[in-house]
Amino acid sequence: MLNKDEYKNFTSKMDKSISVMEEELATIRAGRANPAILSKLTVEYYGVQTPISQVGNISVPEARMLVFTPWDASVLKAVEKEIQKSDIGINPANDGKVIKLVFPPLTEERRRDLTKQVRKYGEECKVAIRSIRRDANDYFKNLKKKSEITEDDEKLAGKEMQDATDKHIAEIDKIVAAKEKEIMEI
């Protein structure tokens, strides 16, 4: 007989895959300013690569503007260089105290490129979910081979994993559609 913990192990991996995808999607810039866009950027701070969010404050004073205020002014130049090197596509304005990032409205072509990127992240997440389902099915087949579960239990486990997969893929589709709608808003 199967216990629910065996299912939870695999479904929690599926949940984590969706969380990772959501973090990736948060870094994609839509029409408005979002501090998560800077979340992947790191800067050398006292000899250690440190996330930008840990060396200063990131605020959103207006819908299309981010303002980075460092806690230590010596890091300002390094943060500016890192933003310029990144693929954000925004030129930072450094006034010696803060860095301002003004988000221009997205062109139609850039919006299409971003929606393609969103779909790609969604597809990668779906592949990860299906891979977890395959691992789960292999695990249950192995238990059946060792005679630890019955054939009926194996079939039930396969059905449970398929249901979990379908639920997670539907959730991915919903998240991707919402992000695409956000990007295409003018």
pLDDT band (50, 70, 90) for residue 27: confident
Residue range(s) defining the domain that contains residue 147: 4-26+107-184
CATH number of the domain to which 128 belongs: 1.10.132.20
pLDDT of residue 186: 61
Q: Where is the domain boundary, 48, 70, 102?
A: 102
pLDDT of residue 92: 85
pLDDT of residue 2: 66
Q: Residues with Cβ < 8 Å from 80, sequence gap 6 or more?
A: 92, 94, 99
Residue 92 shares a structural domain with residue 43 = yes
What are 178's two structure tokens?
């919402």
SS3 call for 171? helix
Neighbours of 157 (CB within 10 A): 22
- As for how many domains the chain has, the answer is 2
Q: Give strand pairing partners of 86.
A: none
pTM comes to 0.72
Residue 124 shares a structural domain with residue 59 = no
CATH number of the domain to which 45 belongs: 3.30.1360.40
Q: What is the pLDDT of residues 75-125, one digit of tens each?
A: 888 888 888 887 777 788 888 888 898 877 778 888 888 899 999 999 999
Q: Where is the domain boundary, 53, 71, 102?
A: 102
Residue 15 shares a structural domain with residue 54 = no
Residue 79 shares a structural domain with residue 98 = yes
